[in-house]
Chain A
Amino acid sequence: METIAQALRRILFFADCSEDALARTARVAHARTYAAGETVILEGYPCQAAYFIAEGNVRVSRLSLGGREQVLAQLGPGQAFNTVPAFQAHGMNHATVQALTPAILYAIPAADLRRLVGECPQLALAVLHDFAERLDHLTNLVEDLSLHTVRGRLARFLLEHAEADAARRFTQEEIAARLGTVRDMVGRTLRAFASAGLLRMDRQRIVLLDREGLE
């Protein structure tokens, strides 16, 4: 049976850690399993731990006061979440995280993670790398939400997902949450695209017809 240290080694964050640092990390890491749809953490609650994904996929999102959801990221094996508030004094969870598929996560208490980063330079570098990627992603998201119309964001979303290898399914509600808009707006824009001949709405499929028109 795989030990916690072996499982952690497969996670990018810990790939370059020394055996000793990994053994110390393994002593404070707790393996947790989640069923699809289960909530891992809730936005606004005190940050207890940072989470590292060994298996499965999770969805990171925030809710506005009006109840509108914005999906910030979808993460998979090797990635981490709740690392930022773990380094803040009295940090609160910045987002709600839900398992999209059955998932195995390793939770490392915030205080232990701060201590380990001080002891292991490779882990400190991995955390900095993760923060840089996160900042880059959020900067792009802000640009997208503030500078592009829903029409433009939806067209790009459709083009990206039609070209993705893995066939994924979305509801109009899910698309709206990813684009920072509401479901009705997604429905209206899809109908407008269909009227313009850019796509066809089949049963259970959005069939793209005109790449140039969507670009």
Chain B
Amino acid sequence: MENWALPEFDLLLCDRCGICVERCPAGAAEMGTDGPFIARPADCTYCALCESVCARHAISCWYEVVWGTDT
């Protein structure tokens, strides 16, 4: 789990609307006192749905582009 990437939340941009928590298909996100966060990291599939539904662009799911083999 050490390098387990998770969506990043910018709490300065977030307006606490809660849609990311509501729409997370894995139920991994929760609303805390400061804003949303990934409460169950192991359940997060990094599907980036939270990023796509956030109207404030407060969630970022980052990707590197690399070459690989089909394994």
Contact = CB atoms under 8 A, between A and B. Distances in A.
A197 B71 CA distance: 11
A200 B5 CA distance: 16
Nearest to A163: B67
Given A171-B60, A200-B70, A187 B65 contact: no
Interface residues of A, number: 23
B68 A208 contact: yes
B2 interface: no
Contacts of A203: 4-5, 46
A181 B20 CA distance: 23
Contacts of B46: 203-204
Nearest to B60: A171
B6 to A, nearest CB: 9
A171 B68 contact: no
Contact of B63 (A184, A197, A204, A209): A204
B62 A171 contact: yes
A145 interface: no
Interface in B50-70: 51-52, 57, 60-70
Interface residues of B, number: 18
Contacts of B52: 172, 183-184, 187
Contacts of B4: 203
A117 interface: no
A173 B7 CA distance: 13
A171 B61 contact: yes
A197 B5 CA distance: 24
Contacts of A184: 52
A208 B67 contact: yes
Contacts of A161: 65
Contacts of B64: 167-169, 204-206
Given A170-B62, A171-B51, A209 B68 contact: yes
Interface of A: 158, 161-162, 167-173, 183-184, 187, 197, 200, 202-209
Interface of B: 4-5, 46, 48, 51-52, 57, 60-70
11 contacts: A162-B67, A167-B66, A169-B64, A170-B62, A171-B51, A173-B60, A200-B68, A204-B62, A206-B64, A206-B66, A209-B69
Given A204-B64, A209-B69, 7 more contacts: A162-B67, A169-B63, A169-B64, A171-B61, A172-B61, A204-B63, A206-B64
